[in-house]
Amino acid sequence: MKTTLISLLCLLFSLNIFGQVKKTKYDSTILGETRQFQFYIPEDYDPEKKYPLFIVLDGDYLFDLVVASVKFNSYNDLMPKSIVVGINQGYNNLRFSDCDFSDEDGLPKEKGKLFFDFIEREVVPLIQQNYNLAEFKAVAGHGITANFINYYLFKDNPLFDAYISLSPTFAPQMTERIADRLSQFEDRKFYYLANSERNLDKEDKERISALNGMLKTIDNPKFYYFYDNFENATPFTAASYGIPKAIDLMFDLYEPISKEEYDKNVITHEAPVINYLIKKQETIKELFGFEKPIPLNDIMAIYSVIKTKKYDDLESLERLSDISKKEFPDTMLGFFFLAEYYEQMGEPKKALKTYENAFTMSEIDFLTKDLMLDRITSIKEDFGY
C-alpha cells in the first residue's frame, strides 16, 4: 500500500510538471483491491489557482471524451481549466460489481457501498492533498454508472455539484428519488440527462423520459437542469454527443458575454449597468468557488452600453475604471475610462491630467497613444490650457 501510494504521489507530481495524461494503479484500503486510474492535470497548473474537479466513471472510454472537452473549452476561455480523474472499470466485470444495488430498494449493496466510500474517502481526498481544488466538483457516468452517480445526491452535503448522466440504466425507485431530492437543495446543483431515440431497451428509454418529465417541472432557482434526447444516437453514441454538450451548458455563465447575452440582458439592464457585470462575477464565484479574471470582452460590453446610452450612467463608468485598473493594471484602460468620466462630469483639468497618465501606459484594444494625444489636444484647444 505504502509503495503504491508513494508511486501515485510521484505520478501526480510529474503531471504537475508536464501536464500529461497518465495511467496508474492504486491499492485501495476500502475496496481491498488494486484499481486503475487516469489523470489529466492542466499543462500550466498553478498551485496558487483553484481548479474544478471532474470524476469520470467508466474512465476506460469516457475519460478521453471529458478531457478533450475540458481542454477545448478552457483553451477558448469557455470554462476554467480543470483536473480530470478517470476511474477505469472495464475489466474483471468491475463496473457491475462497483455499482451493485439491491433489487428491492435500488440502493447500493455490498461492493456498491464500498465503491461509494472509495470515491468519497480515498479518491477525492488524494487529489485534494496534492492539488488546489475549487469547491466545484462534477461527476459523470454512463448506463449503470450513470445510475450510480445519483447516490451522492442523497447525502446531507453531497460531494458533487454537477452530475452528467448519460443514458442511465436506473435501479428500482431511483427516478422518483432523484426528482424529489433535486427539488430540495438550497445550494446550486447542475444536472445533465441524456437519452437516445435508438435505445433498444424500451424500459430504460421510458424511465429516462419519465425522469425528464419530473425534473423539468422542478421550481427551484438553485437547480440547473439540461436534457437532450438525441434522435439518431444509440445509448453509446449519446455519450460522445452528450459530454461536450453537458460541459458547455454547465459553464454557460462562465463564458464571456456573447452578442445574444448582450442584446437580451446587458443593454436592457437598468442603470447602473456595472451591476450586471458585478453580479455575473459574484455568481461565478458562488458556483465554482473562485474568482474569475474579468475578460476584456466583458469590460468592453459594459462600456458599449454606457456609450450607447450617451453617458447617462456615469456611476458605471467610474466603477468600470476601478475594475479595469485592477484587471489590466499596466494598460491605458482604467485611466481612459476615468478621464471620460471627468469629461462628462465637467472637470476638464482632471480629465486632461488623466489622459496624460493614460498616454504613459500600454496600448490595449482600440486605445492607442494617438487617441490619447487627440483627446489631450482637444481639451487644450477647447479650454485654452
Mean pLDDT of 53-74: 97
Mean pLDDT of 294-312: 97
What is residue 19's predicted lDDT score, i.e. its pLDDT?
52
Residues 63 and 13 placed together within one structural domain of the fold = yes
The percent helix, strand, coil of the chain (3-state, each to 5) is: 50, 15, 30
- Ranges of H-type helices in 26-123: 59-75, 94-98, 111-118
- Co-location of 16 and 96 in the same domain: yes
Q: Is residue 161 predicted with pLDDT exceeding 70? A: yes
The residue out of 254, 273, 301 marking a domain boundary is 254
Name the percent of the chain lying above pLDDT 70.
95
List the CATH number of the domain containing 197: 3.40.50.1820
**Each residue's pLDDT tens digit, 362-376:** 999 999 999 999 999
Does one domain contain both 278 and 355? yes
Produce one character per residue of 140-175: b if its CB has 16 or more CB atoms within 10 Å, e if not.
bbbbbbbbbbbbbbeeeebbbbbbbbbbbbbbeebb
Per-residue pLDDT for 6 more than 80?
no
**Same domain flag for 245 and 265:** no
Q: What is the 3-state secondary structure (H, E, C) of 60-79?
A: HHHHHHHHHHHHHHHHCCCC
Paired residues of 28 in beta bridges = 33
- Please enumerate in sequence order all residues whose Cβ is within 8 A of that of 23, keeping only pairs 6 or more positions apart, or say none: 36, 37, 38, 88
Could you tell me how far CA 238 lies from the centroid of its own chain? 21
Same domain, 247 and 263: no
Q: Can you give the pLDDT at residue 16?
A: 43
Indicate if the pLDDT at residue 1 is higher than 90. no
- State yes or no: pLDDT of 8 exceeds 80: no
Q: What is the pLDDT of residue 15?
A: 43
Domain boundary among 204, 222, 254: 254
> Among residues 254, 282, 313, which one ends one of the domains?
254
- pLDDT in the model for residue 384: 85
Are 248 and 300 within one domain?
A: no
CA 93, CA 36: separation in Å to the nearest integer?
A: 13
Same domain assignment for residues 296 and 312: yes
Domain match, 270 and 166 both: no
pLDDT at residue 14 in the model: 45
Number of domains in the chain: 2
CATH code, 370: 1.25.40.10
User: Is the model's pLDDT at 18 over the cut of 70?
Assistant: no
SS3 of residue 107 by DSSP:
coil
- The string of pLDDT tens digits covering residues 246-292 is 999 999 999 999 999 999 999 999 999 999 999 999 999 988 888 89
How are beta strands 21-28 and 51-56 bridged, if at all?
A: unpaired
- My answer on whether 250 and 285 are in the same domain is no
**110 shares its domain with 240:** yes
Q: Quick one: 179 and 295 in the same domain?
A: no
Phi, psi of 268 (to 5 degrees): -90, -5
Q: Which residues contact 377 (CB under 8 A, 6 or more apart)?
A: none
Its domain, for residue 327, covers 259-383
- Flag whether pLDDT at 12 surpasses 90: no
Q: For residue 201, what pLDDT is reported?
A: 82
Do the Cβ atoms of 259 and 222 come closer than 8 Å?
no
User: Residue 224's pLDDT is what?
Assistant: 94
Same domain? 81 vs 187: yes
Percent of the chain at pLDDT above 90?
A: 86
In 3D, which of 355, 274, 365, 282 has the Cα closest to residue 314? 274
Q: What is the pLDDT of residues 99-154, one digit of tens each?
A: 999 999 999 999 999 999 999 999 999 999 999 999 999 999 999 999 999 999 99
Q: Which three cell numbers stand for residue 276?
A: 450586471
Work out the mean pLDDT of the chain and round it to a whole number. Answer: 93
pLDDT at 21: 87
Residue 27 has pLDDT above 80, yes or no: yes
User: For residue range 188-203, what is the model confidence (pLDDT) as tens digits?
Assistant: 999 999 999 887 788 9
